[in-house]
Copies of this chain bind each other. A is one copy, B any other.
Amino acid sequence: MSRFGEATAVEKVADGRYAAVLDEGFGFAEALNGGYLMAVLGRAAVDASPHEHPLSTAANFLRVAKPGPAEILVDVRKAGRTAATARVSLVQNDQALVEALITTGTLDAASEPDWAGAPPTPELPPIDECTGFPRVEERSRGFADRVHMRFDPVTMGWMDGRPSGRPEVRAWFELADGYPADAYSLALAVDALPPVALNLGAKGWAPTVELTWHMRAVPTPGPLAVYGDARLLSGGWFDEEVEVWDTAGRLVAQSRQIARVGRTS
CA of A239 to CA of B254, assembled, Å: 9
- List 19 A–B pairs whose Cβ atoms lie within 8 Å, in order of A's numbering: A55-B237, A58-B101, A60-B77, A60-B103, A78-B96, A82-B236, A87-B87, A99-B101, A103-B210, A107-B235, A108-B235, A111-B234, A111-B235, A113-B232, A114-B233, A210-B214, A216-B234, A232-B254, A239-B254
- Among the listed B78, B209, B210, B237, which residue makes an inter-chain contact with A63, where contact means beta carbons less than 8 Å apart? B78
CB of A33 closer than 8 Å to a CB of B: no
Taking CB atoms, residues of chain B closer than 8 Å to A251 are 231-232
Contact bitstring A233-260, B, C-beta under 8 A = 1, else 0 = 1111101000100000001001010101
Quick one: given A60-B77, A78-B63, A239-B216, are A116 and B234 in contact (CB under 8 Å)? yes
* Contact across chains for A210 and B212 when beta carbons are under 8 A apart: yes
CB of A49 closer than 8 Å to a CB of B: no
CB of A167 closer than 8 Å to a CB of B: yes
Question: What would 5 more interface pairs be, CB under 8 Å, given A62-B77, A112-B234, A113-B234?
Answer: A56-B258, A58-B58, A62-B85, A85-B99, A101-B101
CB of A117 closer than 8 Å to a CB of B: yes
CB of A156 closer than 8 Å to a CB of B: no
CB of A127 closer than 8 Å to a CB of B: no
* Contact across chains for B254 and A58 when beta carbons are under 8 A apart: no
CB of A230 closer than 8 Å to a CB of B: yes
Q: How many interface residues does A have (CB within 8 Å)?
A: 50
CB of A200 closer than 8 Å to a CB of B: yes
CB of A217 closer than 8 Å to a CB of B: yes
CA of A113 to CA of B235, assembled, Å: 7
CA of A261 to CA of B115, assembled, Å: 12
Taking CB atoms, residues of chain B closer than 8 Å to A83 are 209
CA of A87 to CA of B89, assembled, Å: 11
A80 to chain B, nearest CB (A): 8
Taking CB atoms, residues of chain B closer than 8 Å to A96 are 77-78
